């Protein structure tokens, strides 16, 4: 018996060795091993000889006859829903590598380096006469892998029941996590060990118009840390989610093991795939240094270059908005006091104006004047169009038509006025979650924008998605966002989407989809608050996939200024708001506060006026998720640097080392610092501004208040 076991073991080992392939990163630090064990594909990942991902299974299960309503369709499919996770033999392996640089249209650096070694393994499922390819790319900052489904007779069209890609960690790790959800990532981040996630599982969440929690799953990008000896930061995410559902990660908290969990549609199906097709990349960025996770461009490298013929209309945009006053409840989007009125087809004269409609000719002109006087590019105006009286949280397909202005918003006059002052209005398309309705109107809406000279649209998907049963992250809805981006490109329009799926590096392929919200933004400071560590986490999570329209810049942080007795407040100092323009990368940045609040602090506002939003270079000076981030960036095409540092609820000291500056040159640094008595609760508006001459040898000690920061502009001395 014993002998039998040993020879059986040798047999298994022998087949492992035969089937095993390994791949190293260009710098040799990472090693990935692929193998088939009894016909099932596995991979692992090592960093400098230490396992950071243990043997983890790969594969997909397909829908079978009887699984969903239209079973008869599946019945006719080749392979009849046989799973793609077993019975494989390896029939080919192909190694490749690439080392190139490419220039993003807008980005954190002028050029990104795309340097990797690749292994593509062809796996044959002889029993069903079909094959798939698993492709691995190993970079100096981590691993990406995906499934490829070549066109073939017995794998022509199939429906995914689940993708079961595992990421099995060897130990417990500290995690910055959001509960899994098919519809929203507008949650506060939780910080705990993975083993504690089930106990900390939320039983309720602060309100969100649409949420569908997935028990014991967490969202991506997920940030992890192994503390102590062999310190390691790991970021798990995905890249290039196209024609495929976005994934959450199911957690086995006893074994520290994740498995992909795709977003279903209303039928429970998770993807309708016509070959040839590829899955999104599953990504594992890893480094002993948190700064290197922030600096990684792997997700963008795993996206394809754009096919757009003309990208000249895509440009950095700094904007203000008729917005925050509605968010805090001072003004309204709606024009009249009516409820449940489909105002688009109603005679306005029958409606009583509510007197709080912000998107009116007089106010919009005032905002234009202020934005223009301070060098902004654009002004967002929300509540300009009819429909808001018709939207009371009910699921209704046709709420907005995106083309009918309210009677007090003169679309021609206001655009002409804005253009005469070098400002473009930013369109607002709140879809009320009705993606079908938006697709119906999109051509009319974009034509209207072209007619009046709008360059960008902020879209929004508040509420449950229509078609009913779809989720914000399901395959259909993901394709909807992409259809809108492509259509907007036909009209040379930039898109900034809210409540859409989190980005997965798609700004490379769809560069006019310049930013998205897709996380808990500044608006939540008015809806229940963001924790003081929130902004020190987001760059490690949400921003890993691309720019976020966080909407920073609130100077009047305490809302009792507007409503006596109101206890709501933005949980940062004023100066931390300035630092966010540097720490949070987006080529589209808002100055979200009201002009009257900036007017009171024009000296501090100068930083927002000066700061660039598109960059030649970025240096992450120091960072720790949940604690602090210090970033320096060089403005695109200019000899100017901007430095920003932020902290969580703890005050901290940090010495800015200016060695990033070129040698032998003098610069004038304007330093915006928390006042000595600044504190995000007691004294958020205390700040000081001073100047210093700096060179690349300078070191500048900074003191950050609780939930405070600093911002520095660095320009050549005159």
Q: Which of 523, 596, 624, 668 is catalytic?
A: 523
Distances 224 to 176, 293, 503, 621 between C-alpha atoms, Å: 6, 11, 19, 20
Comparing every residue's Cβ against Ca ion, the nearest one is 498
Is 211 among the residues that bind ligand NOJ (CB under 6 A)?
no
Q: Of 517, 614, 648, 674, which one interacts with ligand NOJ (CB under 6 A)? A: 517
Listed residue (94, 139, 136, 135) closest to 116, CA to CA: 139
Nearer to Ca ion, 282 or 498 (CB): 498
Nearer to ligand NOJ, 270 or 396 (CB): 396
Is 498 among the residues that bind Ca ion (CB under 5 A)?
yes
Binding part of the chain for Ca ion, among 48-56, 450-458, 490-498, 584-592 by CB under 5 A, reads 490-498
Question: Which residues, 6 or more positions from 564, have their beta carbon under 8 angstroms from its beta carbon?
Answer: none
How far is residue 214's CA from residue 327's CA, in Å, rounded to a whole number?
29
Size of the site for ligand NOJ (CB under 6 A): 8
Surface-to-core class of residue 449, CB atoms within 10 Å of its CB (0-12 exposed, 13-18 middle, 19+ buried): buried
Binding part of the chain for Ca ion, among 102-110, 122-130, 509-517, 595-603 by CB under 5 A, reads 509-517
Smallest distance, Å, CB 435 to Ca ion? 16
Q: List, in sequence order, every beta strand (DSSP E) within 164-231.
A: 166-168, 174-177, 179-181, 190-193, 213-218, 222-226
Smallest distance, Å, CB 499 to Ca ion? 5
Interaction partner, residue 430 (ligand NOJ, Ca ion, none; CB < 5-8 Å by kind): ligand NOJ
Nearer to ligand NOJ, 25 or 456 (CB): 456
Is 104 among the residues that bind ligand NOJ (CB under 6 A)?
no
Report the site for ligand NOJ in 347-366 (rule: CB under 6 A): none
How far is residue 534's CA from residue 584's CA, in Å, rounded to a whole number?
12
For residue 111, cis peptide bond before it (omega within 30 degrees of 0): no
How far is residue 447's CA from residue 405's CA, in Å, rounded to a whole number?
14
Is 498 among the residues that bind ligand NOJ (CB under 6 A)?
yes
Query: Site mask, ligand NOJ, residues 421-460, x = CB under 6 A?
Result: ---------x-----------------------------x
Is 462 among the residues that bind ligand NOJ (CB under 6 A)?
yes
Report the site for ligand NOJ in 373-412 (rule: CB under 6 A): 382
How far is residue 348's CA from residue 244's CA, in Å, rounded to a whole number?
43
DSSP state of 306: P
Handedness of CA 550, 553, 558, 562 (dihedral sign): negative
Surface-to-core class of residue 650, CB atoms within 10 Å of its CB (0-12 exposed, 13-18 middle, 19+ buried): middle
How, if at all, do strands 257-262 and 247-252 pair? antiparallel
Binding part of the chain for Ca ion, among 238-246, 291-299, 386-394, 493-501 by CB under 5 A, reads 493-501
Is 502 among the residues that bind ligand NOJ (CB under 6 A)?
no
Please answer whether residues 716 and 584 qualify as being in contact, where contact means their C-beta atoms are separated by less than 8 angstroms: no
How far is residue 295's CA from residue 631's CA, in Å, rounded to a whole number?
10
Report the site for ligand NOJ in 521-540 (rule: CB under 6 A): 523
Smallest distance, Å, CB 119 to ligand NOJ? 42
How far is residue 463's CA from residue 434's CA, in Å, rounded to a whole number?
8
Smallest distance, Å, CB 481 to Ca ion? 15
How far is residue 713's CA from residue 39's CA, in Å, rounded to a whole number?
58
Nearer to Ca ion, 187 or 658 (CB): 187
Nearer to ligand NOJ, 108 or 517 (CB): 517
Smallest distance, Å, CB 562 to ligand NOJ? 17
* 523 is annotated as an active-site residue: yes
Instruction: Name the site residues for ligand NOJ (rule: CB under 6 A).
Output: 323, 382, 430, 460, 462, 498, 517, 523
Catalytic residues: 523
Instruction: Name the site residues for Ca ion (rule: CB under 5 A).
Output: 498, 517
């Amino acid at each position: 018996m014993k002998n039998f076991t040993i020879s059986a073991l040798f047999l298994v080992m022998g087949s492992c060795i035969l089937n095993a392939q390994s791949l190293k990163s260009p710098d040799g630090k990472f090693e990935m091993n692929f193998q088939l064990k009894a016909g099932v594909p596995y991979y692992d990942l090592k960093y400098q000889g230490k396992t950071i991902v243990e043997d983890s299974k790969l594969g997909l299960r397909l829908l079978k006859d009887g699984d969903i309503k239209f079973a008869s369709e599946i019945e006719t499919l080749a392979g009849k829903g046989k799973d793609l996770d077993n019975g494989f033999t390896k029939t080919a392996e192909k190694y490749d590598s690439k080392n190139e640089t490419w220039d993003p249209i807008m980005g954190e650096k002028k050029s990104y380096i795309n340097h990797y070694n690749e292994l593509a393994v062809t796996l044959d499922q002889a029993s069903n006469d079909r094959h798939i390819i698993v492709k691995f790319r190993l970079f100096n900052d981590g691993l990406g892998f995906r499934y490829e489904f070549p066109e073939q007779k017995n794998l022509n069209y199939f429906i995914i029941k689940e993708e079961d890609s595992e990421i099995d960690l060897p130990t417990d790790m500290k995690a910055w996590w959001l509960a899994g959800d098919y519809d929203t990532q507008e949650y506060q981040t939780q910080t705990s060990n993975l083993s504690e996630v089930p106990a900390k599982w939320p039983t309720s969440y602060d309100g969100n118009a649409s949420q569908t929690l997935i028990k014991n799953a967490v969202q991506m990008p997920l940030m992890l840390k192994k503390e102590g000896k062999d310190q390691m930061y790991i970021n798990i995410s995905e890249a290039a989610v196209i024609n495929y559902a976005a994934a959450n990660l199911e957690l086995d908290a006893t074994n520290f093991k994740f498995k992909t969990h795709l977003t279903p549609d209303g039928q429970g199906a998770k993807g309708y795939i016509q070959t040839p097709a590829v899955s999104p990349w599953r990504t594992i960025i890893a480094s002993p240094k948190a700064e290197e996770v922030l600096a990684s461009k792997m997700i963008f490298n795993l996206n394809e270059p754009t096919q757009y013929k003309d990208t000249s209309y895509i440009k950095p945009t700094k904007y203000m908005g008729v917005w925050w006053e509605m968010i805090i409840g001072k003004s309204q989007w709606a024009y009249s006091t009516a409820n449940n009125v489909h105002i688009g087809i109603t005679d306005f004269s029958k409606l009583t104006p509510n007197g709080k409609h912000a998107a009116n000719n007089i106010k919009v002109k005032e905002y234009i004047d202020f934005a223009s006087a301070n060098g902004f590019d654009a002004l967002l105006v929300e509540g300009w169009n009819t429909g808001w009286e018709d939207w009371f949280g009910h699921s209704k397909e046709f709420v907005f038509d995106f083309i009918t202005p309210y009677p007090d918003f003169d679309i021609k006059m206001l655009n002409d006025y804005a253009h005469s002052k070098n400002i473009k209005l930013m369109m607002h398309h709140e879809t009320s979650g009705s993606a079908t309705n938006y697709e119906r109107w999109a051509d009319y809406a974009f034509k209207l924008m072209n007619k009046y000279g709008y360059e960008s649209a902020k879209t929004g998907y508040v509420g449950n998605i229509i078609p009913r049963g779809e989720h914000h992250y399901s395959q259909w809805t993901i394709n909807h966002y992409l259809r809108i981006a492509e259509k907007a490109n036909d009209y040379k329009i930039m898109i900034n989407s809210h409540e859409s799926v989190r980005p997965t590096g798609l700004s490379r392929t769809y560069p006019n989809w310049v930013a998205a919200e897709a996380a808990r933004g500044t608006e939540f400071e008015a809806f229940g608050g963001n924790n003081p560590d929130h902004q020190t986490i987001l760059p490690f999570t949400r921003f890993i996939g691309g720019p976020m329209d966080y909407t920073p810049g609130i100077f009047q942080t305490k809302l009792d200024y507007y409503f006596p007795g109101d206890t709501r407040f933005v949980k940062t100092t004023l100066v931390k708001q300035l630092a966010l323009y540097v720490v949070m990368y987006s080529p589209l940045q808002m100055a979200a506060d009201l002009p009257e609040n900036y007017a009171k602090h024009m000296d501090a506002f100068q930083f927002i006026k000066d700061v660039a939003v598109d960059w030649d270079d970025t240096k992450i000076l120091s960072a720790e998720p949940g604690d602090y981030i210090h970033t320096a960036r060089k403005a695109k095409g200019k000899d100017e640097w901007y430095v920003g540092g932020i902290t969580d609820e703890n005050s901290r000291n940090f010495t800015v080392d200016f060695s990033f500056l070129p040698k032998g040159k003098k610069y004038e640094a304007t330093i915006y610092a928390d006042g000595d008595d600044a504190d995000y609760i007691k004294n958020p508006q205390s700040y000081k501004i001073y100047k210093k001459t700096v060179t690349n040898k300078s070191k500048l000690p900074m003191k950050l208040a609780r939930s405070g920061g600093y911002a520095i502009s660095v320009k050549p001395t005159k």
